[in-house]
Amino acid sequence: MIVSGSTHTIIIRILATIAVLHLCTLQAKAQKDSTNIFYHPEKIIDYTHVKMKKAENIIEEHLNKKDSLYITPNKYKLTLMTQYTNAYEYYRFYSPDRKQNITFSPDINNKIGFYVGWKWLFFGWTFDVEKNNTKADWNFSFYTSKVGFDFFYMKRDEGFKIRSLGGFKNEYGNDMRITNNKFNGMSVTQKGFNVYYIFNNKHFSYPAAYSQTNNQRISCGSFILGLNYSEQNFHIDNNKFSTEILDAMNPNFKISSVKYKDYSINFGYTYNWVFAKNCLANISATPAIGYKNTSFKFALDKEFVKNINFDFIFRAALLYNNSRYFAGASLVSHTYSYRKANISIVNGFGTFNVYTGIYLFRDKKK
């Protein structure tokens, strides 16, 4: 095809115009991108800092107001803490058909934990000192004067023992006497969270006793309201029982797994006693009523049970805190129960903690 000179000139002008428009589009896009914080790391940092400051102001304004005569706020932003934990747990199974019961629990184990806190947030990890135990614990907490949140995760795969038997007869009709026998056929996983509200939040500080983010200056108490969710999974390998125990065991007792979800509300009272300068003792008792959704898996079938149960949470603490260093001890105990017509289970776990820590990075506003 032959293109005339004038036509050729027009085509060149059109292409040139398209090129100029494309360059203008690219330039406009570049200018738009230059204002986008995601193309500049320093702007991302500034943007995040502004949003965090805004969140801090909201929390301080609505969740963390307090009477400075009763409560002194922490003057530092970062908390570092190390903790020694002595933990105990037990699981008691009971069958009313033959009035049989069996109790499992591991040896009381020793754990070391490390915790980091930034203002209201607290994160911790603990592990067993004994190498022959496989257990991991994770904790996350958010504490203010008015509300708090705890998340926990615990797992144990070995180390259980049969502590006691009741109602089991041997071939001669005599009661079996078995205590502290190793049982490697049980594993347990627990996880859940707690949310609580402090009624007398301007004068009483729950964080002063359990997260060391405030100092209680005058003795004071408060009612406390909580919502809890917990989930537990038990797995039992019945083949790990001795032949003697299996022969005597009620068939309804041969559970291969139990899984339950517990939704509960608790209401109780907690008190901080300032018995000396920088010294605090706390005690907290909160009965709980809950709705449980439980599944029992037996050797031959599977059953689901939904019912209302009562549990109990107990806490106590003793500590010294001079606003720069702190040291103390705490005790936490939980009891759970769930039952159906032919079997019931009660389990509990408790921890005794000894800890020490230091505050770093002073808050210039305080």
Domain boundaries, the chain: 70-362
Q: How far is 264 from 88, CA to CA, in rounded Å?
A: 23
In terms of CATH architecture, what is 70-362? Beta Barrel (2.40)
Q: Which residues pair with 82 in a beta bridge?
A: 114, 356
Q: Which positions of the chain have pLDDT values less than 70?
A: 1-64, 120, 129-136, 252, 296-305, 365-366
Q: Kindly state the percentage of the chain with pLDDT values over 70.
A: 76
Full-model pTM = 0.73
Read off the DSSP letter of residue 32: H
Read off the DSSP letter of residue 342: T
For residue 276 the two structure tokens come to 């000396």
Closest CA to 347 of 165, 159, 93: 93
Query: CA dihedral in degrees (87, 331, 117, 147; nearest 10)?
Result: 130
